[in-house]
Structure 1
Amino acid sequence: MLASHGTFHHVYDFNEFHLPFGIHIELPEIMGFQITKYMVLQVIAAVLVFLVFRGLASHAKSGNPVTGYFWNFWEMLVLRIRDDVVRPVIGDPHHHDEHEHAHDETATYITDSAGDRAHEGEVGHPADKYLPFLLSCFFFILFCNLLGAFPWFGAATANINVTGALAFTAFIATYFYGAQMHGPVGFWTHMVPAVNAPAPIKVLLVPMIFGIEAGGLFIKNGVLCIRLFANIMGGHTVMAVILGFIAQAAGGAQWFLVMPGSLAGQIGVGLLELLVAFIQAYVFTFLSTIFIAMSLHEH
């Protein structure tokens, strides 16, 4: 009952939207498949991402600088992910010495390598081919998180099934891009670096290293799922508990003390949640970029 109609309704998935004044919008069942609130919110997030970046692309395709505070805000986020995450972390998978240099002098590497490619007739940066997936991750998660700031909505990323699907998508992308580079089997075999050891020791070490690396790949994506879920779920739970103090104190003299404190706490945590919405989208994207980079480069 508490989950369905009480304090924690904001962090649970339902077959309906609970609105003020006792209004409930029942969601349909299509061919035996029940539509839920979080499914609708994910569709809304995807549509918002499409609309924003369809508009941004239409402004940028002319080749002129994008103007306007609204469009500049989204362009700033795109460039931040591209220039501070994807390009420095992935580098150029075909030039390992340049990749190593990128870790030391990221900005110089980006400038020089982009200039070299311009002379060679190439457009952009080698890591840009991975931008569509990584930018989609960042902005889809960001919009899902931000929708949770609206009353009577909820954050789809507060559901472990949603974050699990996102982490699984990141795993598939890691394998897909790695298999493109090394082949379907090479993706797995390149996890083990060259072992310069006598044959008996090598026979022992290679399976051990492979087991650790392969197991770590699945564990890292599992942590990716739990990290996003726990942070979003935890934040909304704290907000719900703080508001619940008001209901608990109702009817008593302490209500006049509890109510202002709870509202002030709600505002503070709400502002913090806005920051967390961006941070968690960034962290998910950053870790996904690292996993993809590891699948591309030789050890």
Structure 2
Amino acid sequence: MAYFVAPDSIVRRIWGTADTVLFIFAGAAAEFALNKAVDWLYFTGRLPADPLGRLFSTVDYARRIVFADRVGAEKAIDTIAAIHGAVEKKRGYAIPDWAYRDVLFLLVAYSIKAFEVLERPLTGPEHEEIVAVFCRVGQRMGVPGLPGSYAEWRAAREQHLAQDLALSPHSTDLYRQYRKHLGRPRYQLLRAVQGLVVPASVRIQLHLPDGSWINPAVKFYRLTKRWPASQWAKNAMLPSEYQARIHALDAAPVELAPPRDAAAVAAPRGCPFHKAVPSA
């Protein structure tokens, strides 16, 4: 059977673990709040209204691409592209190419950072594999100007961080929604995790903590995460009604049901980026 992502790929290991996935989306939620294309989140308003629901919708799509066979993965990517196109048509103009690249770049960045914080340093070939997988997603969607190597991605990533991020009223409102839906203790935990994984420029703009106070807990978790008692760490990040879905992220979903928002292609229910980027 042909796969979009090889069964032994490091990308499957990264996206097959609940704690790593949650760290990826914590970091990406911070960075995308600063993206100059964040106004697309507010065109339909679904993500600000339901950030946790959008998180799991995003996870459904990402894991379908990573774990399904090639045909299933390509169908999921085509659905993402169709949803984007439908919202662009409704709004009357296109999402810029650089915004699509930014989304792919931050998924590469936080896949790497989350795994290295929670597991171990990645090797050179593993870096190349992560870049290659997400660039294949972009190529399938028709995104131009994608890097051909990890070194090229790093250079483009630095340019993105310098040019495409800015604090805006949308940034402030998104964080207001994160706090509303998470509650104060989980919101503070989110900010601590974000401070641990985001680049310094993102941390400074969002006034995030540097992550130092949570570092000892993360190190302890790395040593004990195989113990049943360590599951509290995953449960602590999101409200109790999401715990079953969090634990389900640890299962390798080779055969996945269609994502819940697949029917949104004809009449999109959320902003285009909620399928490819996190909400909190």
Q: Which has the higher helix share?
A: 1
Question: So what's the TM-score if we normalise by structure 1?
Answer: 0.24
Question: So what's the TM-score if we normalise by structure 2?
Answer: 0.26
> Computing the radius of gyration over CA atoms, which structure comes out larger, 1 or 2?
1
